[in-house]
Amino acid sequence: MSVVETRVVARDEAEIRLDRWFKRHFPTLGHGALSKLLRTGQVRVDGGRAKASQRLEEGQAIRVPPLNLVELDDAKPAAPTVQRRRADDETIERLRAAVLYMDDEILAINKPAGLAVQGGTGTTQHVDGALDGLRFEAKERPRLVHRLDKDTSGVLLLARGYAAARRLTEAFRAKSAMKVYWALVVGEPKPSAGTVDLPIAKLPGRMGERMMVDRDAGKRAVSRYVTLDRIGHRVAWMALFPVTGRTHQLRLHMAELGTPILGDGKYGGADAIVQGEGVSRKLHLHARAIRVPDADGVPVSIIAPLVDPMARSFAFFGLDADVGADPYAPFED
């Protein structure tokens, strides 16, 4: 990275330490180099000086200086992985073709299942690496303001500048943004509509990103659900509304109901698999719609058409997506 960059703390990054945030985003930046940046005021949080131990809040702006220059100052060779890894041309073109909506502030794409939003160990292609290719003549690179799991498809919102990122992040924090997901689950939820209110915590140990219900130390997690259709007692088509935004919340809550999301082996195990030549074993979770206020407070609604594997499974089971033409209707009180 050769220019000063401002990044906004995502919802799932709230409450982590600043030094751990840097470790996540810039894994080759050593503790000594980060300490120097903090000591000299080159790294700032919301414009102010910060400490490595500072706990971050969703929506805060982190100033990241040119890290390749920092490494030169420390007399160490520049590590290529410090720079944002650019996605390949095929991935960028795929995302440009998946644009659902764009105005001066907002860019929304229909993220394909299987494409990560951000990089990690062994992940070379991701949305974060394609952001320069999604400028569309804007002065600033678009910014991520929320996240979807790698295997979840659907609406992913990007802010087309710093001011828009702050406003949209605040909309998510204040719950003035509404997200609705569609899922195919194995079994039939009883009751057919309701609310799951179970606290969630990260599972200890080295098992990757995995959550569990923890009534003592977990953070409150609330999900509303409505059954839109069913194929006997075998599979149900669900509309899901995450009132809170915890990691893997919908996946864990559906599993706790005894109806894991189809293809979700992480939380449903063998019970999440349906045998059949036309049924994919991949995760069947799709961010169907998102509604956010624009700069004037007028709601902007964006709906993502189904993509594989959801689209193929809908065809296989004979489900009609037009039944859910208004994705917000099941949750409008």
CATH code of the domain containing 96? 3.30.2350.10
- List pLDDT tens digits, range 215-259: 998 999 999 999 999 998 899 999 999 999 899 999 999 999 999
CA distance 28 to 125: 19
Q: DSSP letter string over 295-325?
A: TTS-EEEEEPPP-TTHHHHHHHHT--GGGGS
Give residue 30's pLDDT: 82
Is 211:253 a contact under the CB 8 Å cutoff?
no
* 302: Cβ contacts below 8 Å, ≥ 6 apart: 100, 101, 108, 155, 157, 289, 290, 291
CATH number of the domain within which 16 lies:
3.10.290.10
Q: What is the mean pLDDT of residues 61-71?
A: 76
The per-residue pLDDT for range 127-180, each reduced to its tens digit, is: 988 999 999 988 888 999 899 999 999 999 999 988 898 889 888 888 889 999
pLDDT above 50: residue 76: no
Instruction: Tell me: do 65 and 131 sit in the same domain.
Output: no
The predicted-structure confidence for 2-60, as pLDDT tens digits, reads as follows: 578 888 888 778 788 999 899 888 877 888 889 999 999 999 998 889 999 998 988 88
Decide if pLDDT at 84 tops 70: no
**Is the same domain home to 183 and 322?**
yes
Q: Which among 149, 264, 294, 308 is annotated as catalytic?
A: 149
126, 16: one domain: no
Return the pLDDT at 71.
46
Q: Are residues 105 and 137 in the same domain?
A: yes
Q: How confident is the model at residue 83 (pLDDT cuts 50, 70, 90)?
A: very low
- State phi, psi for 127 to the nearest 5 degrees: -60, -40
- Dump the DSSP string for 245-283: --TTHHHHHHHHTT-PBTT-HHHHGGGG----TT--SS-
Predicted confidence band of residue 72 (pLDDT cuts 50, 70, 90): very low
What does the chain come to in residues?
Answer: 333
Burial of 327 (0-12, 13-18, 19+ CB in 10 A): buried
Could you tell me the residue range of the domain that residue 18 belongs to?
5-82
The answer on 104 and 21 residing in a single domain is no
pLDDT interval class at 73 (50, 70, 90): very low
Residues 6+ apart with CB under 8 A from 59: 8, 9, 166, 169, 170, 173
Residues 274-293 have a mean pLDDT of: 92
Show the tokens assigned to 108.
Answer: 């929304």
Q: For residue 80, is the peptide bond before it cis, meaning its omega torsion is within 30 degrees of 0? A: no
Question: By CB neighbour count within 10 A (0-12 exposed, 13-18 middle, 19+ buried), where does 202 fall?
Answer: middle
Number of structural domains the chain divides into: 3
| pLDDT score of 69 more than 90 | no
Q: Does 274 share its domain with 324?
A: yes
Mark whether 58 and 99 lie in a shared domain.
no
Residue 65 corresponds to which amino acid?
Answer: P
Same domain, 159 and 205: no
**Domain final position from 109, 139, 173:** 173
Contact 59, 9 (CB under 8 A): yes
Q: Are residues 233 and 321 in the same domain?
A: yes
> Could you say which of 144, 173, 202 is where a domain stops?
173
118 lies in the same domain as 165? yes
Using CA atoms, how far apart are residues 153 and 38, in angstroms rounded to an integer? 38
Q: How many CB atoms lie within 10 A of CB 69?
A: 13
The residue out of 82, 106, 134 marking a domain boundary is 82
Q: Is 197 a catalytic residue?
A: no
pLDDT of residue 123: 74
Strands 99-102 and 106-111: antiparallel
Do 241 and 260 share a domain, yes or no? yes
Greatest Cα pair distance in the chain: 67
| Whether 274 and 226 share a structural domain | yes
